[in-house]
Chains A and B, each alone.
Chain A
Amino acid sequence: MVSILGVGLGVAALLVVQTVMNGFGEEHRLRIRESFGDCVVVARTPIEHPQDLLKALRADAAVASATPFSEGPALARQGDFSNVAYVRGIDPTDTGHPARKYVFAGGFDELDDGRVILGFGLARALRVQVGDKIEVWSPAMAERAEKGKAPLPAVFEVCALVRTGFTEVDDRAAFIPLRRFNQLWSMGDRVHGLTLRLKEPAQAYDVAARLNVGRPTLQFVPWQEIKKNFLEAIRFEKTMLFFLMFIITLVASFSIGSTLFSAVIRRSREVGVLVALGARRLQLVALFGLQGLLIGALGTSLGFLLTWLILAFREQILGSINSLFGNGDMVANVYQFSKVPLHYDASDFVVAAGFTLLVTTIAGLVPALWAAGRKPSEAMRDA
């Protein structure tokens, strides 16, 4: 019973960690796609007359939508508070714009030439809320000042605040209409790039490679490359956690092995009797190997059940831990997730089950081989 519980806890620990890490990875991947698009089109110089390119891309079977954008740093100021804002010119009528999903104050549809949507961190730095006004100086204004013209800042009313969970977006982003951006940056009708949403985001690499062909001045960047280091870090973190959990499971398996070994030694008299009755080595090995396999199977089943229970009540468990240690809601505060993300991956379950069954079967077999090799007269004397 203790062995089964040990296996179950090991399996549950492994799967809970893997499933939550998968969830974090999936959530981050989704946010990267929603924040930057499935594929970004950039160029060495601003894209002239983007309408033709947009038309061609929108006609592509793999592309769900294509929207132009321009972006650049600016100085944002409110009273005595100022900060660098990374201003992005977008299409306010884009009903599929991902920023809509992350609006937590005000409304995306309020965006017009006199209004701005700010990242949560930037708004906090400027001490503004929805309805307040900020001034924006673009680099183009500085150029004008160098030419002796006194530039006036562009004034925007904050119409919405967004919180995506990405610090660089939340602490820097300011969204204004593309047309207004182009005025402030003296861009004419040129744009810095295009954001593509794909029908199959997972195929972004292939689609980008295909679209790159014959367009030497453009670069199609799939979402996996946009935050490559970040995604690699998540993947590495998952691998390391799997390794650590693997060691924990291995330790649990050794304890099972030692429990089974003790059980076999304790029952050495019975093994002797079985041999005296004519049990063959293979029968004994099968008996104890099956015992290990059974412990592994029951433990794995228990582990699956515990995994499901822990993950189903993860919010309550995390809440209890947070209140016990006086922590805030880290999932919401640090990761900006409304709850601990999950992603069940069947391969994790198959690997955990296969590994556990293998180790517990071996743990049962080794002492059985030892016991079966003894003389029955010796084994029965151990009574």
Chain B
Amino acid sequence: MPEAEIVLSAQGLQKSFASPAGPLVVLRSVDLVVHASESVSIRGSSGSGKTTLLQLLGGLDTADAGEANFLLPGRGLVPARKNLGKGVGFVFQNYQLMPELNALENVLLAAQVAGRPAAAAEAQALLESVGLGGRLRHLPAQLSGGECQRVAIARALINRPSVLLADEPTGNLDEATGAEVMRLLLEVVAQRGTALVLVTHSREFAARTDRQWVLSNGVLSPA
């Protein structure tokens, strides 16, 4: 069976931050490859650099050295930093929804930013697929934490990314809701054939992914 296409790759990623005590090294030459439709988890203690790694993978931050590339259909692997929002979708711990926009508008915003203004039907279908068909016109303030995160998942998927980067998506949710959101997330990406990189504290959630990694002392290694 041929190996699946690479949708995300990182080579030699290094990142450090300035601190009063001198440079604080967070990542020391991290390499990572994610294949199409594959789910990968990255665990680590607080402050280990999981979120930083995810931001470098998605192009939200700049590495001191190394490079992160993701698959852009028709163009192959492209640098993440220069192609923000094009081939990856983000799910953040604190949802990062626009407070003035309702659920449908939040999902549509991502499509509009990507130059796809006529995606209302697709946005609605996505929200229905995450169980929010009856909450389309609700503002984030009128939704529960779990519902907000489901809106964020729909938003991350609206532009059909090759890979979805999820940063502690259940971090702000109670156990039951977190489990439900995780189930939904894994189900949706599996259905759509989207690769998933999941940053989490939870061994249980991590165990549900195809491959598990641990980030410790700036080094990424298989769990």
Contacts and interface: CB of A to CB of B under 8 A. Distances in A.
A376 interface: yes
B113 interface: yes
A375 B62 CA distance: 8
B70 interface: no
Nearest to B81: A375
A275 B61 CA distance: 11
A278 B86 contact: yes
Contacts of B110: 277-278
Interface in A265-316: 269-270, 272-279, 283
B90 A276 contact: yes
A278 B114 contact: yes
A276 B84 contact: yes
Interface stretch (B26-34, B92-100, B182-190): B92-100
B60 interface: yes
Most buried by B among A270, A277, A283, A377: A277
A61 interface: no
Contacts, number: 49
Interface residues of A, number: 16
A308 to B, nearest CB: 33
Interface of B is mostly: loop
A173 to B, nearest CB: 69
B61 A375 contact: yes
A346 interface: no
A54 interface: no
B114 A270 contact: no
Interface string B106-135: 000110011000000000000000000000
A383 B110 CA distance: 19
B48 interface: no
Contacts of A75: none
B85 A279 contact: yes
A352 to B, nearest CB: 31
A380 B92 contact: yes
Contacts of A279: 85, 113
B19 to A, nearest CB: 16
Contacts of A269: 96
Given A276-B85, A276-B90, A380-B96, A375 B60 contact: yes
Interface string B75-107: 000000000111000101010101000000000
Contacts of B159: 278
B61 A273 contact: no
B129 to A, nearest CB: 20
Contacts of B62: 375
Nearest to B165: A276
Given A283-B113, A380-B92, A278 B60 contact: no
B58 interface: yes
B94 A383 contact: yes
Contact of B114 (A277, A376, A377): A277
Interface of A is mostly: helix
A34 to B, nearest CB: 60
B96 A376 contact: no
B85 A278 contact: yes
Contacts of B84: 275-276, 278, 376
A277 B113 contact: yes
Given A270-B98, A375-B61, A375-B62, A277 B109 contact: yes
Contacts of A276: 58, 60, 84-85, 90, 96
Interface string A188-206: 0000000000000000000
Given A278-B113, A283-B113, A377-B61, A273 B85 contact: no
A276 B113 CA distance: 10
B55 interface: yes
Contact of A277 (B52, B61, B85, B94): B85
Nearest to B155: A277
Interface string B137-158: 0000000000000000001000
Contacts of A383: 94, 96
A274 B159 CA distance: 14
A309 to B, nearest CB: 31
B98 A273 contact: yes
A269 B94 CA distance: 11
A266 to B, nearest CB: 12
A275 B83 CA distance: 10
A378 to B, nearest CB: 8
Contacts of B85: 275-279
Most buried by A among B55, B113, B114, B155: B113
Given A376-B84, A383-B96, 12 more contacts: A274-B109, A276-B85, A277-B109, A277-B110, A277-B113, A277-B155, A278-B85, A278-B86, A283-B113, A377-B61, A380-B60, A383-B94
6 closest A-B pairs by beta carbon, nearest first, are: A278-B85, A377-B61, A377-B60, A376-B60, A377-B55, A273-B96
23 contacts: A274-B109, A274-B113, A275-B60, A275-B84, A276-B58, A276-B84, A276-B96, A277-B113, A277-B114, A278-B85, A278-B86, A278-B110, A278-B113, A278-B159, A279-B85, A279-B113, A283-B113, A375-B60, A375-B61, A376-B55, A376-B60, A376-B61, A383-B94
